[in-house]
Structure 1
Amino acid sequence: MTVHADLNMHHENRRVTEKKILCAIMDTIPTCTVVMNDEPYPYAVPMNYGYAWPENGKLQIFIHMYKEGHRVNLLKKDPRVCVSIYNYMDRKTKPYRNEKQDYRSINVFGNAIEVTDKTEYLDALNQLQIHNGRAPMRFIPDAMAKDLLVYKIVAEEVTGKTQYPLSGIEEVVFPVID
């Protein structure tokens, strides 16, 4: 099995490993692409997400979907996924640090587990709500619980990279160039 964190990265100095910077990057990006195993090609779906990263635990990405469909079938067959979270800015006319583009990216490799416990289900949905600028819910409406599946992707590996080395959390947000 490939350990992605051990692979050599072109521009190794741009690798992001610090948890607080990875979280700050995720805080600025509302969507991700979830890649599932399918035949003959991988199946990639853009989705919104929420996350939690306990102090001494693994990153958890939360996604939701309708209870039936191709995604659900794929995850039942093989729960291994890659989640790609990224942001890109074209700086053709106003380079920054001599770069004509700017990006922040994170890849999360792990397993998608259906959340069935009601308390954990509500917590996961609230992480989605909060991450997407919505108010948390106090309860789960029956109609929602009947038709909506929530998955928790428990990260086995997390890799991050930026266009240029970041000196700290304050550089996560793209600088505005006048």
Structure 2
Amino acid sequence: MSNNTKNTVCTTHQRSGIICHQDCGLEFTGGSGTTTFNSCACMGSDGKCTKCGCDTYSHHHIDMEMKNETKTINEVLEDIKAQYDMADADHKRISNDANQFQKTFNDLQARADGNYNKIRQLCTDLSKICSRFNFVDELHANIKNMKMDAKTIQNSDLRAKAESEIRKLEAYIDGLSRQG
């Protein structure tokens, strides 16, 4: 429960309900890892807390009062069951989201594969219609752009897949170059 006092607590022992110094007069320090608490009344001459035995770096202020509550076994079980139910619901939701993302990804991959096949077919058709047009050079320029775009992909699996598709297009273009 929030109040107007500053209590010094240890990050290691805070969950145990240990307050190392109630109503600390030092300037409020909400984060641990500083030497601010060297001059706190709870610190001994050896730099260790007289309440918990930890050093000054482990301490910080809170503006809350800790209370011990006695709960029945049924209340504790209800709390644990509620936490379990929430975790289970979160797990199911996340699993469902992951499945949806995978399905969407697979759909996009199938479309991309279809587009690559369409590109290959259009290149073949174009080479029959316009024998003088050097679309191999045009495709090389596009592949260069695709490679630059692939380098910006941060997911290593997706980047590898994109690079694989680019290599397939390059192999196709090389085959066209040898034919022409």
Instruction: Please give the TM-score of this superposition, normalised by the length of structure 2.
Output: 0.20
Instruction: Please give the TM-score of this superposition, normalised by the length of structure 1.
Output: 0.20
Larger radius of gyration: 2
Indicate the structure with greater strand content: 1
Q: Higher relative CO (CA 8 A, sep ≥ 6), structure 1 or 2?
A: 1
Indicate the structure with greater helix content: 2
